[in-house]
Chains A and B, each alone.
Chain A
Amino acid sequence: MMANRIPPFVVDRPAVATHDLTKRWGMQVVLDRAEMRVPRGAFYLLAGANGAGKSTLLRILMDLVRPNAGRADVLGIDPQRAAATARASIGYVPANPSLPPNRLALARKLEYLAAHYMAWDAAYATELLQALSVPLQRPARSSTPSEAQRFRWVAALAHRPPLLLLDEPFAGLDDASRDTALALLTDHLATIDTTVILATHDLGAAASLADHFGILREGRFEMQARLDTLLEHIHRYRVAIDGGWQPPSALGQATLTRTDGEREIEWIVWGPQAWAAEAFRAGGGTVTDVETLPAAEALRAVLRKKGSAG
């Protein structure tokens, strides 16, 4: 019902698209005919609860996992058919990155990776390494998870790929490194035409960067749209009520969160402002304040709402 109020998300020439993508692990269905559309040049936030299928979807795009049905389209390439070609254009930061526990120094490992990418920019890589304080001389087996993640950041950005797939890339980083990574990412976006898919729970960082989003719930995309479209459709209403207050049924489905007090209620409602205001009035309340939500909060409200069948 909610999704009906957003204009349908049609993207021609998407950078990334999935068609009927299905993946099962044993009895559990992780992706259920998922249809993702990511426009070229977009910064797409892939949101959803833990285990919603975000990581699996990204891995399918990298051809690290094969779907049970459906196909994906990455920059015009089918990863199942030409994975190597697709990966040459992708920078991937995996969730829970680890490095093979051998005694090779990270510098050697980076050299090894760098040789595989024709577009590798060594000067840029050095810049990134220094900014993120990656300990190059340390052997891989004694590097911490944070160092491993920072290493992966460098490996992903240094060859300036047209597509970045970031899977919880901030999760293992301390505050300072996270901030540095954000700065590097914005810098990267400013200098290179990139499409980014960011799968994360860290809505704070994501909301300042994303211009598109997709919510994955139970293996399907409940909603995909431009972020500003979402913000136009969601408002917080503060309504003064009295004894004669009748919660309007019209708003029932469209209410994302409610805080009900004795004399004042605060609801986050999805839908046109005039329509919601009228409904409150009809219920006997007086709207004292209408506010747009900051992006992170809007996303959180949508994510929290359960059973909002698209």
Chain B
Amino acid sequence: MNDEAPEADVRKATPLWIAGSRQLTLIAALGWQELAAYVAFFSAACALMASSVHGNPVHSYADRQIGMHFLTLLFAAGWPLVVWREQSPRQRAELESLPVGRGRAIGLRVGAGLFLLLGGWIVANCVAFVIAATIGRAGEFTAVSGFAWLACAIGAAIVYLIGSAIAVASESPGRWVLALLFLVYAPPLMMRLPESLTFALRPGPRWIYDGALGFERATRLAVTEAQLDTRLAEFTPGHWLPAGLFWLAIAAALVGLASRRRVDL
């Protein structure tokens, strides 16, 4: 109705950095309680380990603390369920009505979740370091090779991304995440049994799990090594880096694929 109104302004989609930061604050607001619980459990476990290791020069605190990786993997698998709570493909209309490209919106949300996951992991480890310091093992902690930490981070990221792909694509992701967890934890446990299925498998398909590019290497090698009391200072990246990167790429691709699923409402 304004006769002197300017020519309709050409509006742009939301800038990526704004959309990304908004996803970050939204997920932080929605999931901080779960994140805090993870940090709390992690810290409590570290405190327990510290008390068992204290005064016992043979056992390494840092090695055991790296073993907390299994808890991180557990959280990494479940965290996408929190990130995508009430955002099943059918409920996602609102996220998708915003002026952000659909694929981008999903990617930003997954990325924000990853950022918070790793942030929580770093905080948890800082607490672990403080606990180490109180029992005089801080030096042990800092002697751990940077690559070991990186292996943990990448392992957690891989499991998180696969979990995200599940949450993005599935109406009821819970059961599939359980399947993922089974994949992460069960085979190594089964390997301890002499008659286990994995030993019975022909060498061919086993490389996916066991081999140099195997899933186990990518996600849990650091843990395995720690539990075998290997000297972490000698941890070589060549051992796990190919697997890590390989599975990281696969996990990211899975997220990309999952985001292509459109559900007509």
Interface residues of A (CB under 8 A from B): 25, 59, 62-66, 75, 82-89, 92, 94, 99-102, 104, 108, 112-113, 115-119, 161-162, 189-193
Contact = CB atoms under 8 A, between A and B. Distances in A.
Given A64-B97, A104-B30, A112-B22, A117 B262 contact: no
A129 to B, nearest CB: 18
Nearest to B21: A115
B93 A64 contact: yes
A113 B9 contact: no
B99 A117 contact: yes
Interface of B: 1-2, 5, 8-9, 11-14, 18-19, 22, 25-26, 29-30, 85-87, 91, 93-94, 96-102, 104, 262, 264-265
Nearest to A77: B10
Contact of B86 (A89, A102, A117, A162): A102
Contacts of A192: 1-2, 5
Contact of B97 (A87, A161, A162, A193): A87
7 contacts: A66-B262, A87-B97, A88-B14, A102-B30, A102-B85, A104-B30, A115-B22
Contacts of A99: 94
A85 B18 contact: no
Contacts, number: 91
B104 A84 contact: yes
Nearest to B19: A116
Most buried by A among B18, B87, B93: B93
B204 to A, nearest CB: 41
A59 B265 contact: yes
Contacts of B1: 189-193
A113 B8 contact: no
Contacts of B22: 112, 115-116
Contacts of A88: 11-14, 99
Given A84-B104, A193-B1, A193-B2, A116 B93 contact: no
B209 to A, nearest CB: 37
B99 A64 contact: no
Nearest to B95: A100
B97 A100 contact: no
B136 to A, nearest CB: 43
Given A64-B97, A88-B99, A100-B87, 11 more contacts: A84-B13, A84-B104, A85-B12, A94-B97, A100-B91, A102-B30, A104-B26, A104-B29, A117-B99, A190-B1, A191-B1
A113 B97 CA distance: 10
Nearest to A155: B97
A116 B104 CA distance: 13
Contact of B11 (A89, A100, A112, A113): A89
Contacts of B85: 102
A191 B2 contact: yes
Given A25-B264, A88-B14, A119 B9 contact: yes
A116 B100 contact: yes
Which residue among A100, A101, A108, A192 has the maximum number of chain B CB atoms within 10 Å of its CB?
A100
Contacts of A191: 1-2
B99 A87 contact: yes
A117 B12 contact: no
Contacts of A65: 264-265
A167 B91 CA distance: 18
B150 to A, nearest CB: 34
A84 B100 contact: yes
Question: What 10 A-B pairs have minimum CB-CB distances, sorted nearest first?
Answer: A84-B13, A88-B99, A88-B11, A87-B99, A100-B86, A116-B14, A84-B101, A89-B11, A84-B99, A190-B1
Nearest to B3: A193
A189 B102 CA distance: 30
Contacts of A86: 99
Contacts of B25: 112
Nearest to A193: B5
A60 B264 CA distance: 10
A193 B86 contact: no
Given A101-B86, A102-B30, A116 B11 contact: no
A101 B86 CA distance: 7
A191 to B, nearest CB: 7
Contact of A64 (B26, B96, B101): B96
Nearest to B87: A100
B81 to A, nearest CB: 14
Contact of A162 (B8, B91, B98): B8
B104 to A, nearest CB: 7
B53 to A, nearest CB: 40
Nearest to B31: A102
B99 A85 contact: yes
B17 to A, nearest CB: 11
A83 B103 CA distance: 11
A193 B103 CA distance: 31
Contacts of A64: 93, 96-97, 265
Most buried by B among A25, A82, A92, A112: A112
B26 to A, nearest CB: 6
Contacts of B97: 62, 64, 87, 92, 94
Contacts of A117: 14, 99
Nearest to A82: B13
A41 to B, nearest CB: 9
